[in-house]
Amino acid sequence: MFADEAYLNIHSTAFAGGEIRGFLHEVQAVPEPGSLALLGLGLAGLGFIRGRKLKAVTS
């Protein structure tokens, strides 16, 4: 599995060839700091835009 060679294929009577399939990859438990920073900037930008729109509507 750590070499990205583990494959999962789930079969059912309706889909004999497999209905869910894919490779299993190792999961990283902690996100990278850059990803968190990008998420934070995106949310801050959305909040800023929403605040400007609310202020324009009430003015």
Encode pLDDT of 10-53 as tens digits.
887 877 777 777 777 676 667 788 888 999 999 999 999 998 88
Q: pTM value? A: 0.44
Asked if the model's pLDDT at residue 4 lies above 70, the reply is no
Query: How far, rounded to the nearest angstrom, does the alpha carbon of residue 44 sit from its chain's CA centroid?
Result: 19
pLDDT of residue 2: 56
pLDDT of residue 47: 93
Residues 6 and 33: their CA atoms lie apart, in Å, by: 28
Residues 42 and 59: their CA atoms lie apart, in Å, by: 26
End-to-end CA, the chain:
59
